[in-house]
Structure 1
Amino acid sequence: MDVQEATRRAIRRHNLVALGANLVVAVSGGTDSMALLHALAALRDQKTLKVQITAASLDHGLRGAEGAADAAYVLEQCERWQVPCVTGSADTLALVSSRKLGIEEAARFARYRFLAKVAQDTGADRIATAHHADDQAETVLMRLLRGTGVAGLAGMGYEAPMPYTPEYTVIRPLLNVTRRQIEAYASAQGIAPRHDASNDDQAYTRNYLRQSLLPEIETRFPGAARALAQLAESAAVDNAFIEAMLEVQTAAHTRRLSGKITISRQHFRALDLALQRRFLRKTIRELGMNEEIGHEHILAAVEVLATAETGAIIEFPGGLSARLEREEITIIRRVDG
């Protein structure tokens, strides 16, 4: 599958970008994001995609000179492809301490905060990322192992509210393209991407899934990665219906304010158990948390919210909490810095 054609089809089929819109592209310097940026720039030049593209590249502050070199490489390539580029840096380790997050989640928070700032500065409301079919398989497998429901099995969508700042939308035009196809495209286009050595460190969960666990599963069950991606697609269809039902049941009883979401206590307790769980998971996602909060947290929280007395507080990882008030249930996320 040609990456340019796959990108064009995904954008048109799923209405990912409006005509004449400003689009931020998240670029690390690696194969996937460089291939996506090249494809989008080519479609722009061919007048097939009439949008304004801005690349955004963040040095997470974890790899010293290598991180700075990645940003310099992205800038150089953007000049060649005539794509405006914004670079930035973050102190991820400081976020680990201040927000009490694992290093992966802290880096994710820093990255999305940076992308939101670039989107704001460029007048964009959509950010393109290079998540692909293999990433989808890894996501579904990771959620299965941690414990999940239908929403988790749906994996990543072609578009979704951006974590931490849901007023922006993340789009994923490569979600139906495999890593092998992306690598073939990059090679054919003469793209020589940077290599992030931290992606080889299997202390990180996703690296372990990608490099050890999923390949081992594939040796016993060939095609397992594709089957996981297909499971995500099927679950996404069912999930969309359930989400629509949830909206019908809760919209009139829910308020969304800066950094917090509230729902009528009486109405929450009247919901079916499936919708109680779904509401809490959706709220957590809208407030920017997902991967750090497992199914067991959801089960325990729903039990407390449905039965405890006024004043009860539930603490989640990542500075998220739910508080049982007299008339309402409030879910709030602490934001530091």
Structure 2
Amino acid sequence: MLATIAYPPIPVWDVGPLKFSLHGVFAAVGFFVGFWVVARMLEKRGFDSAGFQSLAVWILLGGLLGARLLTAPAALLDGAGWAALNPVVGNYSIMGGFVGGIVVGVWRMRRLGLPLLPILDVASFGLAWGTVVGRIGDLAIVEHLGRATDAAWGYEVRPGYDLAPQHNGLECTVAEAGADGVCGIYHHVALYDMLGAGVLLLLLWLVYRRTPLRYGQMFSLWVVWYGLQRFVLDSLRFGMGDAELGGFTWNQVSALGGAAIGVALWAWFRSRRPRVSSQEDEERGAFPMATSEEDSMEDHLRPPPDAQ
């Protein structure tokens, strides 16, 4: 068997009455990195980013609430009762965080009269960056392992490794290890998700630079890709303790529903919205772009004549 991935996790540790984990640290860092990316891209498009930056607390609160509540339907089906609706105690979902943050963000943008679709389009980059950075914390504490595998890219659990609490059952002592001296090898789903988000970032950048889409379609592309990505990857976690609905995990059901919504949004924006351009941005509140020949050539928002 080829060498597998193996490294000791950085465990959760106690700081007074609190439990401290790199999972939460990198989730927060990912949020702020993604937020900074969106603000910077809006400024490059000629938009005043101050209005968007005022949404930070709203989006953060919406994300935290959504991350908690998206797990509620599955918990209710498992008989958890009203405790499943507790907004603080329980499991959290990264997809729920995205949904909650987006819904609250859209509501506030409409209230403030901000350019909704241009912001959502560049937000696709922030969401992808947030995923890449946030997953570093999952890798650090070794969370979201999938089923057993003999693939070379599997994560090898060795005796004495202190995994994330959800994987306590996968830990073992030297005496309990198999003939090969390891506790088991499992799909490193968080790593796959981070790599997939990295590929998505590259795709988004290529499309953003080279393909004249219509307003809203960049955001739709992120929704479709990440929904399908999570649907595929979470199949590797089926039977690992995640809430299930029929032959799928609850995350798979949510992800596939999100991807379907993304396809519908793509088609809607394709038929109802103009192509992205500097001129259209200016009509939505952006400052006029430079008109020198050099700047015009570099302006990726000006589609070729045959695409207009």
TM-score bin (small chain): under 0.3
Larger helix share, 1 or 2: 2
Larger radius of gyration: 2
TM-score of the two chains, using structure 1 as the length reference: 0.25
TM-score of the two chains, using structure 2 as the length reference: 0.27
Larger strand share, 1 or 2: 1
